Chain A
Amino acid sequence: MADCEKNIRAEHHQLLLEAIAQPADLVNYNNQQWELLLRLARRAQLSGYLAARLEKGGMLGSIPLRAANLLHSSLIQAKKQQQSVNWELNRVIWALDGREVPLIVLKGMAYLLLDLPNAAGRIFADLDLLVSKEDLNQIESSLLEKGWQHHALTDYDERYYREWSHEIPALVHPERGVEVDVHHTLSSPLGKLKIDPLPFRKAAVRVQGKDIYVLNPEDMLLHCAVNLFQNNELADDLRHLVDFNEMLQFFIYRQPDVFQQKLIERANQLELGNPLFYSLYFSRLLLRSPVSTDLEQQLDRKPGWIARHVMHYCVPLALLPQHPDQPSKRAVLARLVLYLRSHWLRMPLYRLLPHLTYKFYLSVFPGRSTDTGHNR
Chain B
Amino acid sequence: MKVAQLSLNELRALLVGPGLRVKAGPFNLSIRTRLPSLIRQLHSLYSRYSLVEEDEIVEFHVQVIPRRSVRRPFARLIQFEVDGRFPFPPVPLEQALATLEWGVNLVIAARINHFLLFHSAAVERNGHVLLLPAWPGSGKTTLSAMLMYHGYRLFSDEFGLMEPQSGEFYPLPRLMPLKNQSIEVVRNRLPEAMLGPEIPGTLKGTVVHICPTQASIEQSDETARPRWIVFPKWSAGAAVRLEPLPQSEAFLLLATNAFNYEVLGKTAFNAVTNLVRGCECRKLVYSDFDEALAVLNALTDG
Contacts and interface: CB of A to CB of B under 8 A. Distances in A.
Q: Do chains A and B touch in the complex (CB under 8 A)?
A: yes
Interface of A: 30-32, 34-35, 38-39, 42-43, 64, 66-67, 69-70, 72-74, 76-77, 79-80, 83, 322, 324-325, 327, 364-365
Contact of B83 (A42, A73, A83, A364): A42
B58 A35 contact: yes
B263 A80 contact: yes
A39 B83 contact: yes
A324 B32 CA distance: 13
A73 B61 contact: no
Contact of B57 (A42, A64, A77, A80): A64
A366 to B, nearest CB: 9
B198 to A, nearest CB: 30
Given A35-B58, A42-B83, A67-B57, 19 more contacts: A31-B55, A35-B57, A43-B83, A69-B59, A69-B112, A72-B114, A73-B113, A73-B114, A76-B113, A76-B114, A77-B263, A80-B264, A80-B265, A322-B84, A324-B61, A324-B83, A324-B84, A364-B70, A364-B71
Contacts of B28: 66
* Contact-residue size bin, chain B (C-beta under 8 Å from the other chain): 10 to 19
Contacts of B70: 364
A35 B52 CA distance: 13
B72 interface: no
28 contacts: A31-B56, A34-B57, A35-B57, A39-B61, A42-B83, A64-B57, A66-B28, A66-B57, A66-B59, A67-B57, A69-B114, A72-B114, A73-B113, A73-B114, A74-B111, A74-B113, A76-B113, A77-B263, A79-B265, A80-B262, A80-B263, A80-B265, A83-B265, A322-B84, A327-B84, A364-B70, A364-B71, A365-B71
A32 B55 contact: yes
**Which interface residue of B111, B114, B264 has the most chain A CB atoms within 10 A?**
B114
A70 B262 CA distance: 18
Contact of B113 (A66, A72, A322): A72
A69 B265 CA distance: 18
Of A43, A67, A73, which is in contact with the most chain B CB atoms at under 10 Å from its CB? A73
Q: Which of B56, B71, B113, B264 neighbours the largest number of chain A CB atoms within 10 Å of its CB?
A: B113
A34 B58 CA distance: 9
A30 B57 CA distance: 9
Contacts of B112: 69, 73
A66 B56 contact: yes
A70 B82 CA distance: 15
Contacts of B83: 39, 42-43, 324
A365 B262 CA distance: 35
B80 to A, nearest CB: 15
Nearest to A69: B114
Interface string B56-71: 1111010000000011
Contacts of B56: 31, 66
8 tightest A-B CB contacts, nearest first? A73-B113, A76-B113, A66-B57, A80-B263, A69-B114, A35-B57, A72-B114, A31-B57
A364 B69 CA distance: 9
Given A322-B84, A324-B84, A70 B263 contact: no
A252 B81 CA distance: 43
Contacts of B114: 69, 72-73, 76
A77 B61 contact: no
Contacts of A43: 83-84
Which of B56, B59, B61 has most A Cβ within 10 Å?
Answer: B59
A38 B28 CA distance: 14
Given A39-B83, A324-B83, A76 B61 contact: no
Interface string B40-60: 000000000000000111110
Nearest to A364: B70
A329 to B, nearest CB: 15
A43 B55 CA distance: 22
A76 B264 contact: yes
Nearest to A80: B263
A85 to B, nearest CB: 14
